[in-house]
Amino acid sequence: MTEIPEHLLKRAQAARDKAAASSGAATPAAAAASDPRIPAHLLERSKSARSKTDDGGAVAVADKVAALVAPAPASGGVPVGAGPGGHTQRLLTVVKSGSIQDVKATPVDKVHTWPHLLAVEFVAALACTAFLFFFSIFVNAPLLQLANPNQTPNPSKAPWYFLGLQELLTMFHPMVAGVTIPGIALFALILAPYIDKNPSNKPEDRKFATSIMTVHLMFWAVLVMIGSFFRGPGFNFVFPWRDGLFFEL
């Protein structure tokens, strides 16, 4: 239970003393007449109403006003409507002073790039570097013999990740195969986030982005497979199950 402040206790005691002092009043109308809160025209109206009554059983207007403005004291010196012990004031609660601002952070599903993302990526990069370092100590790289400038291999193939571009060179002009088609593909991938602005991460909600990426990967994968397994001497088209495999990993 919160302790009642001292100023409220003094105010309640003063109210009880005032009620006890006014308990000897003759009538409620007299108490109302001495109350400065009642307007003068109401007091005059109450006097005229009392003068018109023959018997004293009618309730005067001033009595009603006095009952509304100030509670009339009952027998025993306790005001009408008072609580236990004659108290006319009640303390509902005492609110301690403090900040009214909400200091709790609103939960969100986002975190800062640093340190949540970059710290994990840095540790992953260190782990990959350490793995490659120890792997290169115990395992030799599959290197071929030294290149002979007097003997060009047939077929001469680029690394597997460039075989798609080399395959395009056999079909189109070098300007088209080396600049136009790769440039259009890269430009389409750059525009994909601006065309498909759906924030969802579900593939079924990102049909445009999923479709353009699938077409890009399938197109490039088919070209790489043709250049790797279906090109023989002179970079001519061959069947690997009949003429052999002219490709080394």
Domain spans in the chain, listed from the N-terminal domain onward: 6-86, 112-140, 154-249
Q: What is the pLDDT of residue 127?
A: 97
The Cα-based distances of 185 to 166, 192, 205, 217 in angstroms read: 16, 11, 22, 10
DSSP 232: -
**Domain 154-249, classified CATH 1.10.287, yes or no:** yes
pLDDT at 179: 92
To the nearest 10 degrees (0 to 180), the angle between helices 61-69 and 40-52 is 140
Reported pTM:
0.45
Q: Return the pLDDT at 23.
A: 61
pLDDT at 158: 86
Query: Is the backbone of residue 114 left (phi > 0), alpha (psi -120 to 50) or beta?
Result: beta
Give pLDDT, residue 103: 59
Residue spans of the chain under pLDDT 50: 25-26, 54-62, 65-66, 68-72, 74-75
pLDDT at 84: 60
Question: What percent of the chain clears pLDDT 70, i.e. is strictly above it?
Answer: 69
How open is the CA angle 41-47-52, to the nearest 5 degrees?
A: 130
Instruction: Note the pLDDT of residue 226.
Output: 92
